[in-house]
């Protein structure tokens, strides 16, 4: 463990509030490894006032020990089903509609994600409201921001808003961890650390 890793553990120790962003490096394709990373993250966040924003839609995060009340997935959840024609705003749990056909219009169901032709955003909005309320409470408070493996596919969800949060909150500190895209902007470089490492491996390295 080098001194930079010690730095993050000290920052975690001190942090009252922790904002976490999880991006494409955490896609469930390599599921056992990713799951262990979620558990490592849950361990590091234990007892902290945290919120996790993810752009992944595979829902693996909900099988981890992280508190689902403290997670928002604005890009959706593949395991939830919606009408592919969006004739209704209903969203169904996995297996709730056995033939996977919309009971209202007969169209096939599809995953409730932004990849759906018409994405029904009601699936994540209640959590999004919780998240924005939580975020407003971090203003001028000690805030640790961990951005883990997010690239540029949907920068409006994590990457750009996190930069803005760090820019405006002078008591914040940020770690941007990514194998290739860890660069931090000029405006926040005094408070942000760029860690050019795979974020899944990085978090597992910090595990107690
Ligand atoms: Zn329908």
Task: Please tell me the distance between residue 148's alpha carbon and the centre of ligand 1 in angstroms.
Answer: 36
C-alpha–C-alpha distance, residues 192 and 188, integer Å: 6
**pLDDT tens digits for range 74-98:** 999 999 999 999 999 999 998 999 8
Q: Tell me what pLDDT residue 136 has.
A: 97
Task: Please tell me the distance between residue 203's alpha carbon and the centre of ligand 1 in angstroms.
Answer: 42
Q: Tokens 């924005």: give the residue.
A: 132
Domain range annotation of the chain: 3-74+124-206, 78-120
pLDDT-derived band at 4 (thresholds 50, 70, 90) equals low
Q: What percent of the chain has pLDDT over 90?
A: 90
Q: Tell me what pLDDT residue 173 has.
A: 96
Task: Please tell me the distance between residue 87's alpha carbon and the centre of ligand 1 in angstroms.
Answer: 4
**pLDDT tens digits for range 83-141:** 999 999 999 998 999 899 999 999 999 999 999 989 999 999 999 999 999 999 999 99
Task: Please tell me the distance between residue 129's alpha carbon and the centre of ligand 1 in angstroms.
Answer: 27
Task: Please tell me the distance between residue 105's alpha carbon and the centre of ligand 1 in angstroms.
Answer: 4
Task: Please tell me the distance between residue 119's alpha carbon and the centre of ligand 1 in angstroms.
Answer: 13
Which CATH architecture group holds 3-74+124-206?
3-Layer(aba) Sandwich (3.40)
Task: Please tell me the distance between residue 118's alpha carbon and the centre of ligand 1 in angstroms.
Answer: 11
Task: Please tell me the distance between residue 1's alpha carbon and the centre of ligand 1 in angstroms.
Answer: 54
Task: Please tell me the distance between residue 116's alpha carbon and the centre of ligand 1 in angstroms.
Answer: 13
Task: Name the E strands within the chain.
Answer: 17-22, 49-54, 71-72, 76-83, 109-113, 143-148, 172-177, 192-195
C-alpha–C-alpha distance, residues 87 and 46, integer Å: 41
What is the rounded average pLDDT for all residues in the chain? 94
Q: Tell me what pLDDT residue 2 has.
A: 60
Task: Please tell me the distance between residue 107's alpha carbon and the centre of ligand 1 in angstroms.
Answer: 5
Task: Please tell me the distance between residue 86's alpha carbon and the centre of ligand 1 in angstroms.
Answer: 6
User: What are the residue ranges of helices labelled H in 84-178?
Assistant: 125-136, 159-168
C-alpha–C-alpha distance, residues 11 and 20, integer Å: 14
Residue 71 has pLDDT above 90, yes or no: yes
- Reported pTM: 0.94
Task: Please tell me the distance between residue 82's alpha carbon and the centre of ligand 1 in angstroms.
Answer: 8
More reliable by pLDDT, 207 or 73: 73
Residue 31 has pLDDT above 90, yes or no: no
Q: Tell me what pLDDT residue 207 has.
A: 84
Task: Please tell me the distance between residue 12's alpha carbon and the centre of ligand 1 in angstroms.
Answer: 46
Q: Tokens 């099988």: give the residue.
A: 63
**pLDDT tens digits for range 131-171:** 999 999 999 999 999 999 999 999 999 999 999 999 999 99
Question: Can you tell me the mean pLDDT for 178-204?
Answer: 96
pLDDT-derived band at 29 (thresholds 50, 70, 90) equals confident
Task: Please tell me the distance between residue 90's alpha carbon and the centre of ligand 1 in angstroms.
Answer: 9
pLDDT-derived band at 182 (thresholds 50, 70, 90) equals very high
């Amino acid at each position: 463990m080098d001194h930079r890793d010690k730095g993050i553990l000290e920052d975690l120790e001190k942090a009252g509030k922790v904002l976490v962003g999880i991006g494409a490096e955490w896609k469930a394709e390599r599921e056992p490894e990713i799951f262990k990373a979620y558990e490592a993250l849950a361990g590091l966040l234990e007892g902290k006032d945290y919120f996790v924003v993810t752009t992944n839609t595979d829902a693996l995060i909900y099988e981890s020990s992280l508190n689902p009340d403290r997670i928002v997935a604005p890009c959706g959840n593949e395991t939830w089903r919606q009408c592919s024609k969006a004739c209704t705003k209903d969203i169904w749990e996995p297996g709730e509609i056995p033939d996977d056909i919309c009971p209202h219009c007969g169209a096939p169901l599809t995953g409730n994600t932004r990849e759906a032709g018409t994405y029904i955003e009601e699936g994540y909005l209640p959590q999004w409201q919780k998240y924005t309320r939580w975020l407003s409470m971090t203003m001028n408070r000690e805030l640790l921001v961990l951005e883990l493996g997010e690239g540029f596919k949907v920068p409006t969800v994590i990457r750009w808003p996190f930069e803005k949060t760090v820019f405006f909150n002078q008591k914040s500190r940020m770690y941007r961890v990514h194998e290739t895209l860890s660069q931090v902007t000029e405006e926040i470089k005094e408070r942000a650390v760029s860690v050019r490492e795979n974020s899944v491996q990085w978090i597992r390295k910090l595990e107690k």
